[in-house]
């Protein structure tokens, strides 16, 4: 295996074992939120609980972001501020039926992803953030935060939403679920130039991830086709 693959494998192993270590604490958080459902804009106990956990693990936390009392940005900075990958946490419940669509799980998953990534952040040229985006079901916290420029400090933002199946092709607003973009050559406006070698390794890494993903065959083939057409466009 090449140097980059070894490195990625090592990182992946330590991040995965960190998730295993955190398992009980993450379930405890998910169940705590489930037992204490709060509707959008009023997620005070939920927000406080999440922020406490992140602070305990060394994240630098700012609350009240974008004028929203229950929004926050928590960061763990590695050897550089950028690139910064953000994991988005939702924690608002629905009136009367509580966490019926599982935002408690979104919060626990993003906290877990953030804490696991933070465990190797000192070895990385970048930073990781967990971002609390309140009121998803009513006020649309993410839109308010985006308008206030909160997302300018991030290079990628990720989250998952629970469902009864794994899927790449959800039809959601403002979402192109499998879009691959590479900046090559360092031209104006291109922030992170990559070498051809790194580019090739990243493509084969993503190919491997897609091949191993537990998703429908059609979706998988479509995503692989898109990935490989990017490769052809580059060198074709």
The smaller minimum CB distance to Zn ion, of residues 101 and 215, is found at: 101
Least spacing, CB of residue 158 vs Zn ion, in Å: 16
Least spacing, CB of residue 88 vs Zn ion, in Å: 12
Least spacing, CB of residue 66 vs Zn ion, in Å: 20
Q: Which of 40, 69, 73 is nearest to 54 (CA)?
A: 73
Q: Which stretch binds Zn ion (CB under 5 A): 100-108, 150-158, 201-209, 219-227?
A: 100-108
3-state secondary structure of 204: helix
State the Cα torsion 9-11-14-19 to the nearest 10°.
-100
Binding mask 154-193 for Zn ion (x = CB under 5 A): ----------------------------------------
As a whole number of angstroms, the distance between CA 195 and CA 130 comes to: 29
The smaller minimum CB distance to Zn ion, of residues 145 and 223, is found at: 145
3-state secondary structure of 221: helix
Given its phi and psi angles, is residue 8 left (phi above 0), alpha (psi -120 to 50 degrees) or beta?
alpha
The smaller minimum CB distance to Zn ion, of residues 106 and 121, is found at: 106
Count of residues interacting with Zn ion (CB under 5 A) = 1
Is there a contact between 174 and 105 (Cβ–Cβ < 8 Å)? no
The smaller minimum CB distance to Zn ion, of residues 29 and 116, is found at: 29
Report phi then psi at 130, rounded to 5.
Answer: -115, 125
Least spacing, CB of residue 139 vs Zn ion, in Å: 14
The footprint of Zn ion on residues 64-93 (CB under 5 A) is: none
Least spacing, CB of residue 197 vs Zn ion, in Å: 41
Q: Hey, what are 9's tokens? A: 């494998």
Residue 101 interacting with Zn ion (CB under 5 A): yes
The smaller minimum CB distance to Zn ion, of residues 101 and 224, is found at: 101
Q: Which stretch binds Zn ion (CB under 5 A): 16-24, 30-38, 95-103, 145-153?
A: 95-103
- Whether the upstream peptide bond of residue 83 has omega within 30° of 0, thus cis, is yes
The smaller minimum CB distance to Zn ion, of residues 101 and 178, is found at: 101
Least spacing, CB of residue 101 vs Zn ion, in Å: 4
Is there a contact between 129 and 154 (Cβ–Cβ < 8 Å)? yes
Burial letters 132-143, b for 16+ CB under 10 A, else e = bbbbbbeeebbe
The smaller minimum CB distance to Zn ion, of residues 72 and 91, is found at: 91
3-state secondary structure of 41: coil
Least spacing, CB of residue 159 vs Zn ion, in Å: 10
Report phi then psi at 129, rounded to 5.
Answer: -130, 150
Site residues, Zn ion (CB under 5 A): 101
């Amino acid at each position: 295996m090449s140097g980059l693959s070894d490195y990625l494998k090592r990182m992946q192993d330590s991040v995965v074992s960190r998730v295993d270590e955190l398992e009980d604490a993450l379930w405890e958080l998910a169940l705590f939120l489930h037992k204490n459902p709060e509707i959008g804009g009023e997620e005070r106990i939920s927000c406080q609980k999440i922020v406490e956990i992140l602070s305990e693990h060394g994240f630098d936390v700012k609350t009240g972001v974008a004028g929203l009392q229950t929004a926050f940005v928590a960061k763990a900075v590695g050897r550089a501020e950028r690139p910064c990958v953000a994991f988005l946490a939702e924690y608002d419940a629905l009136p009367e039926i509580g966490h019926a669509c599982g935002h408690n799980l979104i919060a626990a998953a993003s906290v877990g992803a953030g804490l696991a990534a933070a465990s190797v952040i000192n070895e990385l040229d970048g930073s990781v953030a967990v971002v609390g985006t309140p009121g998803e079901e009513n006020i649309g916290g993410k839109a308010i935060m985006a308008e206030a420029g909160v997302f300018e400090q991030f290079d990628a933002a990720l989250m998952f939403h629970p469902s009864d199946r794994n899927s790449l092709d959800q039809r959601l607003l403002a979402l192109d679920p499998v879009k691959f973009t590479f900046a090559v050559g360092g031209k104006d406006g291109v922030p992170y130039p990559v070498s051809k070698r790194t580019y090739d390794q990243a493509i084969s890494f993503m190919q491997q991830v897609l091949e191993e993903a537990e998703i429908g065959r059609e979706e998988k083939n479509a995503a692989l086709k898109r990935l490989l057409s990017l490769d052809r466009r580059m060198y074709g």
